[in-house]
Structure 1
């Protein structure tokens, strides 16, 4: 078993780079009028949503690491698996925005979001199984209704874009709803940590 500090530092660095790549891919308007900015609304909206998503993962990853006492090789690989899917956000963000949220880019965006959620779930389960000292995470997550609802919403978001503009709107609404659901850091972990400190 190894210390978790290097994994935390590496993860923080990768997430910071992902956000940096996304903002560097934003192009400045061609003109100097507000209407030029308004023409870029799909690109700006996709950037904002992706920034929120990456921020949510950073925030919840930070909370997650507070419950971890020791890490294993399996945890390191599960963490890399999560970072792989998160690293694809700049690609699907640019594609969805520049295509004005066309069906295929939206489906790919939802797929990356789905796989990131699956990878996060795998990381959580790997941490729980790795060492008995990580028992707080098992207590905090329980049946993980929130995580399962997110995965279901992503599956809907993947399928609906092919039903025309209304389907694209439903897909976007599903993605936004999941982001809103996770915007506040996981209180379950905070409660378990507070309870351990009080005992």
Structure 2
């Protein structure tokens, strides 16, 4: 059977899972760096899960560029894999809250081993469904390297049950690093952008939807009660514009992009990770608008996404050097540098005078970027 509908279904599920992970993050006890850093285990776990899911999508994206058809056996195995991935946020939260719990560590490790084993089985099932595919043979998806993460996780089980309880957690982290390295070993460069664009669109759409879920309900039916939460709406509006700006930039950019490579995909993937934190940071700012730390973290996240956009632009130029329109559109990074400078200025004002100046600076920087793009006819 044809793979197009399955790819769309698979991508949609991963996009939902990868974005709802942020809902499992709890707000700091107070708007301070200390309280924020006290949640380090939860953020590390969140990053691990995000990275794992993105690696799974990336490998699947690469695999299905050379797959011609699939059968019911492949669908069944992928259904099991999707189930395992879908419960990842639950067990990730459990282990993040109970790092010294053997039960939580065990279930976390078992789940990751199951995901890895199901991935390996799915590869063999795909090969069996496409016995004469030259692309599969050349791609070398059945490399022996894929067994190394399982060995590392099994070692983590031994450590957890004998010496150090968080051994499984650490072994999972090391295994994910191995997955990242080995996923790059089997990359077909210069692939089509259609599936990647759809995946980006799905993630951003869900992020925007999640942001509005964080707005508290009005206490009663009066105007005064509604005006009491006006700040939440203002911060939500800014966050919406930030997300939409990222989508709009990529939409305009990919309209002239002919092909992408692994560097482009991973730079945008990292940007999506930081973008996925916007719902969390929006709530953090809205609940502590007079504190510098939440606003600073919001602005810092904005700067990181802008910097990653510059990295993406450079990667795109290198991946498609023959594309004259693309080279001209990305010839100058000054607009993004301008946005970064404006937010840094906002941070200075926020530290000394008014914390929300940082959020305002993010909005002003986007308006400035739009103005430069419009009057400079960049796209």
TM-score (structure 1 length as normaliser): 0.87
Q: CA–CA distance in 1 between the matches of 2:354 and 2:241?
A: 22
Q: CA–CA distance in 1 between the matches of 2:362 and 2:326?
A: 26
What's the counterpart of residue 95 of structure 1?
Answer: 284
2:354 is paired with a residue of what secondary structure? helix
Displacement after TM superposition at 1:101 (Å): 4.2
Q: Deviation digits for residues 2-34 of structure 1, max 9, x if unmatched?
A: 000011000000000100110111121111101
* In the alignment, structure 1 residue 154 sits paired with structure 2 residue 324: no
1:133 is paired with a residue of what secondary structure? coil
Higher alpha-carbon Rg:
2
Aligned counterparts, 1:1-199, within 5 A? 1-163=190-352, 166-183=353-370, 186-187=373-374, 188-190=377-379
Uncovered stretches (5+) of structure 2, i.e. residues with no partner: 1-189
Contact 1:161 1:168 in 2 (8 A): yes
Displacement after TM superposition at 1:115 (Å): 0.5
1:31 is paired with a residue of what secondary structure? coil
Q: CA–CA distance in 2 between the matches of 1:103 and 1:15?
A: 27
Displacement after TM superposition at 1:138 (Å): 2.2
Q: CA–CA distance in 1 between the matches of 2:290 and 2:302?
A: 15
Q: Deviation digits for residues 17-58 of structure 1, max 9, x if unmatched?
A: 100110111121111101011110111110001001111111
Q: CA–CA distance in 1 between the matches of 2:305 and 2:253?
A: 15
Contact 1:56 1:185 in 2 (8 A): no
Contact 2:295 2:355 in 1 (8 A): yes
Q: CA–CA distance in 1 between the matches of 2:289 and 2:248?
A: 29
Displacement after TM superposition at 1:131 (Å): 2.4
Q: CA–CA distance in 1 between the matches of 2:212 and 2:354?
A: 28
Displacement after TM superposition at 1:176 (Å): 2.3
Displacement after TM superposition at 1:140 (Å): 1.5
2:219 is paired with a residue of what secondary structure? coil
What's the counterpart of residue 43 of structure 2?
Answer: none
Q: CA–CA distance in 1 between the matches of 2:214 and 2:356?
A: 24
1:168 is paired with a residue of what secondary structure? coil
TM-score (structure 2 length as normaliser): 0.47
Contact 1:72 1:130 in 2 (8 A): yes
Displacement after TM superposition at 1:185 (Å): 9.0
Q: CA RMSD in A?
A: 1.8
Displacement after TM superposition at 1:81 (Å): 1.2
What count of residue pairs does the alignment treat as equivalent? Answer: 188
Q: Deviation digits for residues 79-99 of structure 1, max 9, x if unmatched?
A: 101111111111111111111
Q: CA–CA distance in 1 between the matches of 2:359 and 2:206?
A: 25
